Amino acid sequence: MRNQETMLSRRWGASLAEITTTVLCLTSTLGILGVVPLFMGGYVDGYHQTLRQASEIVSIEVAAAIVTLLYVSSRLSRTSLQRICLLGAILGGLSYCAGAFLYGFWALCISRVVSGIGVGLIGAAVNASVARSKEPERLYASALTIYALLETAKLYLLPELYGARGYWTLFVSIGVLFFITAGASFGLNQPGVASVSASAESSNTSLRWILAPRVGAMLFGYFLMWIAFSMIWAFAERKAVALSMTPGGTGATLAAANIVGLLGSVFASQLGVRLGRLLPILAGSLVLASCFYLIGSTPFTVGYVGSIIMYGVAYFFLLPFVLGLAVQLDREGRVPVVNSMMPWVAHLVSPLLGAAVLAHGSFATMGAISAVTMLVAAGFVIAAGSKLPAAQAEAAAAG
């Protein structure tokens, strides 16, 4: 058994417990963003909110997650990551299960504030844990591969479930996933004495490190990437409705984007850094920009389905390289933890931005804006990683 565990660790870059916990934490953080299209439909059709109100409810949860992550990130070296994750998962589980039976706008907002706090706690814990792993890039790629399988099951089964039983089942199901994450929180990495001492020393420099040009370019570029990702993804279900697709067909399409997207993460894991990080980031960004434009502009169901699926492949291929670059920029883990905020900051803006675009434009306009944003984002991220000192790149690659 020990030999099997060692072989798994060598192959996937982490222990079974570490991979399992990372996957479940991703499901309770990135996974929440992944089902935003279903939430949008649920708030509008199931809880009788307007599209703008639904966008505001989503944005309020995201804002709570961002504030929590900011507050906790400076205290990670002095607190057990396992306890932070456990508390966050319990808050998220209770909020989603209780919120499933609330129908007023403000009641839903309060519920989402509590779940946002939980998501922020989990996000801070898991990103700090991955940054402390021996091979963070391989762990990201391995966890994303399994995460995609879980997301596929969610996106396929949840529409079938709430289509038959009501939208309350969507939110209760998400709450149950939070409770499962709570049970697996023991697998997170913990800082050693040396790590705590180093963090304590670095805290004297305040946030000066975040003013470094490379760090600023990385954070801003990753933020823009998530603006492009989330503006398209948040309204993917609404675009499907405009194309007269059924809820089951929409769920199957979104699920297919994740299952086929596994090819992207598997390829990224196998490729590693043999071609560096910048070339894969450039290639993935070009494909994603094309997909965003096609998703918004196509009037045909087959074009929409094909573009969404290709989006999934390119997304899961690109992400490990961007996350690996964040670790490469700062092995102490500060950049990865702050970088993990960018999806949430983007989702604070993108639902409202997308709703405004649709109010004054069209899905085609949204697709074009997302495509341009993606290309600009790639430029910033590539600039952050270009011509890094050789010694730094070799050390990062060695893990």
Average pLDDT rounded to a whole number, residues 81-110: 90
The CATH number of the domain where 364 resides is what?
1.20.1250.20
Beta strands in the chain, from DSSP E residues, in sequence order: none
Residues 216-234 as b or e (16 or more Cβ within 10 Å = b): ebbbbbbbbbbbbbbbbbb
Calculate the alpha carbon distances from 392 to 19, 119, 139, 241, 337 in Å: 26, 32, 20, 49, 19
User: Does any domain span residue 5?
Assistant: no
Mean pLDDT of the chain: 79
Average pLDDT rounded to a whole number, residues 381-390: 72
pLDDT band at 395 (very low <50, low <70, confident <90, very high): very low
Kindly report, residue by residue over 346-372, the tens digit of the pLDDT. 777 777 787 788 777 788 888 888 899
- What pLDDT score does 290 carry? 93
pLDDT band at 399 (very low <50, low <70, confident <90, very high): very low
- What pLDDT score does 78 carry? 65
CA Rg value for the chain: 20
- What pLDDT score does 200 carry? 38
Token readout for 393 is 């790149």
User: Does any domain span residue 10?
Assistant: no
Calculate the alpha carbon distances from 8 to 4, 13, 18 in Å: 6, 8, 11
Kindly report, residue by residue over 205-252, the tens digit of the pLDDT. 445 556 677 788 888 898 899 888 888 877 777 788 888 887 778 778
Which residue range(s) make up the domain with 344? 15-398
Token readout for 280 is 């894969």
Under DSSP, is residue 215 helix (H, G, I), strand (E, B) or coil? helix
Angle at alpha carbon of residue 32, lines to 340 and 166, rounded to 5°? 175
- Output 76 or 219, whichever has higher pLDDT: 219
Residue 5 has pLDDT above 70, yes or no: no
Average pLDDT rounded to a whole number, residues 318-323: 84
Residue 394 has pLDDT above 80, yes or no: no
User: Does any domain span residue 363?
Assistant: yes
How far is the C-alpha of 96 from the C-alpha of 168, rounded, in Å? 10
pLDDT band at 376 (very low <50, low <70, confident <90, very high): very high
How far is the C-alpha of 266 from the C-alpha of 260, rounded, in Å? 10
User: Does any domain span residue 242?
Assistant: yes
Domain count, the chain: 1
Token readout for 154 is 């969610």
> What is the share, in percent, of the chain residues with pLDDT greater than 70?
83
- What pLDDT score does 160 carry? 84
Q: Which pTM value belongs to this model?
A: 0.70
User: Does any domain span residue 378?
Assistant: yes
User: Does any domain span residue 7?
Assistant: no
Residue 16 has pLDDT above 90, yes or no: no
Residue 337 has pLDDT above 80, yes or no: no
- What pLDDT score does 361 carry? 74
The helix/strand count (H/E) of the chain reads as 19, 0
DSSP label of 101: T
Kindly report, residue by residue over 173-209, the tens digit of the pLDDT. 999 999 999 988 887 876 543 344 334 334 444 455 5
User: Does any domain span residue 356?
Assistant: yes
- What pLDDT score does 126 carry? 85
- Output 30 or 306, whichever has higher pLDDT: 306
Torsion-angle region of residue 212: left (phi > 0), alpha (psi -120 to 50) or beta?
Answer: beta
User: Does any domain span residue 349?
Assistant: yes
